Chain A
């Protein structure tokens, strides 16, 4: 059949497509939404098949995600490299393509020509100027798709792109928050002589890759990790999860904090060469009278002794994880008198737009007081965050060596004491 240039029916068809997404957008499941959109598109364009392929940025391939009349494309997980075949050409050229003859010379995906599709038309899906996918329709009978048909399909594709984008962002945020919450300890380990408290607040805008970890080694030593992966969303959260478990493994292998971070750095540079992160790793002596700290681009902890102003612990800086292979790393040992409080944090706590880093550090230093970790957390969060939503993630961990520590049971006594 040949579509006539009929303004009335074009108007009506436009409205039919526009009406799809307003109702469908309120749904949460993007696969349902796409399925409905494709059904309506097929109907409006009087086509036999309709399909959406979404671009997977990491592989540069289009993946069949939804289809009407062409369900096997999705079931078989069809993947088309950008630049090849019909859909690949649309994505690469950022242009609609009309095919009057479908065969193995024009279409890469054998499902399409094996099914007996004669004519096809496809358009790019874009978001923010980037190609995010391709939408195409096909006809079993030979047909000349017109410019009006292309316009209608482009309208449907724009709607689909916007819907997929917003649903993906929503789903991403839910996934990231769930992942992050699963990665921070649900309960801090009980260690005789130590009191701990923590806060973790995901950023209000884009969820980043902050994490903290507290665990004990088989020897009984208490370890603390603070980390911040550059980037945001699911990619940063996934890297954070990998770093957290890698660091735990290396912690079992070597008692040297610099060795642990060195191995972590090597692992990240090999397997995640574009990742960048700051990490603090600290091992407390069993007697809790000193802590050995290695910094990889992370802020040093604040230490407060009873009755004294707090200070930034004097710890040697070290290079961030993911920059340069085989950098020498230093470990600094900090004595912890009874009753002293250590405050570990990520940059979200101290960084504010329009404020210098040192001003943020100074604000923090003034508010940290040797007191119970729970009270210290509350006071620091109150003073540093208040009621404004934090743009970046915030992780905060307080550890106090018990002031009344008399129960020196079977622990090693440091030679310094």
Chain B
């Protein structure tokens, strides 16, 4: 089975999710996991890098919108980096370009995130753990 995990990298103490080329119902779950992991690593703002992404259906948009709502509820935000025409086109049709902060480079996006309170970023070794093993925070939150 191919590794379908969506990687999360810490850049200057900010989690950056590297979104895959295509996001649809078959892999939106992995994107959702990566978004939750980012929020767990650094409460507040983080970045989703969509520069490789050429296609994103409603399940992918759903993962992004939910993550943005959670981040904003905690005083942070979800920032996007996009390149090319495909993703901006999808965001224009869905009107999401009106609500997401979007940048054309990672540096630009990072410049809009305030420095981590308390200095050093979290270690990368501890993935987000939920109170209920085997149950994602989304499910347990109800």
Residues 308-325 (chain A) with a chain B CB within 8 angstroms: 317-320, 322-324
A347 B96 Cβ-Cβ under 8 A: no
Q: Does A182 contact B (CB under 8 A)?
A: no
A297 with B96, Cβ < 8 A, contacts A82-B132, A228-B58, A231-B59 known: yes
Interface size on A, residues (CB 8 A): 51
CA distance A296 to B25 in the complex (A): 21
A319 with B132, Cβ < 8 A, contacts A208-B25, A231-B59 known: no
B95 A230 Cβ-Cβ under 8 A: no
Q: How near does chain A come to B67, taking the closest CB pair, in angstroms?
A: 11
CA distance A10 to B131 in the complex (A): 36
B142 A60 Cβ-Cβ under 8 A: yes
Q: Does A353 contact B (CB under 8 A)?
A: yes
A319 B95 Cβ-Cβ under 8 A: yes
Residues of A contacting B54 in the complex (Cβ-Cβ under 8 angstroms): 356
CA distance A358 to B135 in the complex (A): 38
Q: Which segment, of B1-9, B35-43, B84-92, faces chain A?
A: B84-92
Q: Which residue of B59, B94, B98 has the most chain A CB atoms within 10 A of its CB atom? A: B94
B94 A297 Cβ-Cβ under 8 A: yes
A276 B61 Cβ-Cβ under 8 A: yes
Residue of A nearest to B95 (CB): A319
A230 with B132, Cβ < 8 A, contacts A60-B142, A274-B66, A357-B86 known: no
CA distance A208 to B25 in the complex (A): 9
Q: Does B126 contact A (CB under 8 A)?
A: no
Q: Does A278 contact B (CB under 8 A)?
A: yes
Residues of A contacting B90 in the complex (Cβ-Cβ under 8 angstroms): 357
Q: Which segment, of A111-119, A126-134, A212-220, A335-343, faces chain B?
A: A126-134
Q: How near does chain B come to A280, taking the closest CB pair, in angstroms?
A: 11
B132 A83 Cβ-Cβ under 8 A: yes
Q: Does B118 contact A (CB under 8 A)?
A: no
Q: Does A232 contact B (CB under 8 A)?
A: yes
Residue of A nearest to B66 (CB): A274
Of the candidates A93, A208, A297, A319, the one whose C-beta lies within 8 Å of that of B133 is: A93
CA distance A83 to B140 in the complex (A): 12
B89 A353 Cβ-Cβ under 8 A: no
B98 A327 Cβ-Cβ under 8 A: yes
CA distance A277 to B131 in the complex (A): 30
CA distance A347 to B93 in the complex (A): 11
CA distance A92 to B85 in the complex (A): 46
Q: How near does chain A come to B16, taking the closest CB pair, in angstroms?
A: 23
Q: How near does chain B come to A309, taking the closest CB pair, in angstroms?
A: 21
Residue of A nearest to B64 (CB): A276
CA distance A58 to B141 in the complex (A): 8
A358 B62 Cβ-Cβ under 8 A: no
A354 with B142, Cβ < 8 A, contacts A278-B58, A320-B95 known: no
CA distance A82 to B85 in the complex (A): 47
Residues of B contacting A297 in the complex (Cβ-Cβ under 8 angstroms): 93-96
Residues of A contacting B30 in the complex (Cβ-Cβ under 8 angstroms): none
Residue of B nearest to A94 (CB): B133
B134 A130 Cβ-Cβ under 8 A: yes
CA distance A143 to B73 in the complex (A): 51
Q: How near does chain A come to B40, taking the closest CB pair, in angstroms?
A: 17
Residues of A contacting B124 in the complex (Cβ-Cβ under 8 angstroms): none
B55 A392 Cβ-Cβ under 8 A: no
CA distance A356 to B54 in the complex (A): 7
Q: How near does chain B come to A42, taking the closest CB pair, in angstroms?
A: 26
A317 with B95, Cβ < 8 A, contacts A82-B132, A93-B133, A230-B62 known: yes
CA distance A318 to B97 in the complex (A): 10
Q: How near does chain A come to B137, taking the closest CB pair, in angstroms?
A: 11
B135 A130 Cβ-Cβ under 8 A: yes
What per-residue 1/0 map shows which CB atoms of B55-73 lie under 8 Å from chain A?
1011101100110010000
CA distance A30 to B136 in the complex (A): 25
What per-residue 1/0 map shows which CB atoms of B1-42 lie under 8 Å from chain A?
000000000000000000000101110000000000000000
Q: Does B139 contact A (CB under 8 A)?
A: yes
What per-residue 1/0 map shows which CB atoms of A137-151 lie under 8 Å from chain B?
000000000000000
A residues with CB within 8 A of B: 55, 57-60, 82-83, 91-94, 124, 126, 129-131, 205-206, 208, 228-232, 273-274, 276-278, 296-299, 317-320, 322-324, 327, 347, 351, 353-358, 391-392
A sample of 7 inter-chain contacts (CB < 8 A) reads A94-B133, A208-B25, A231-B59, A297-B96, A347-B57, A355-B55, A357-B55
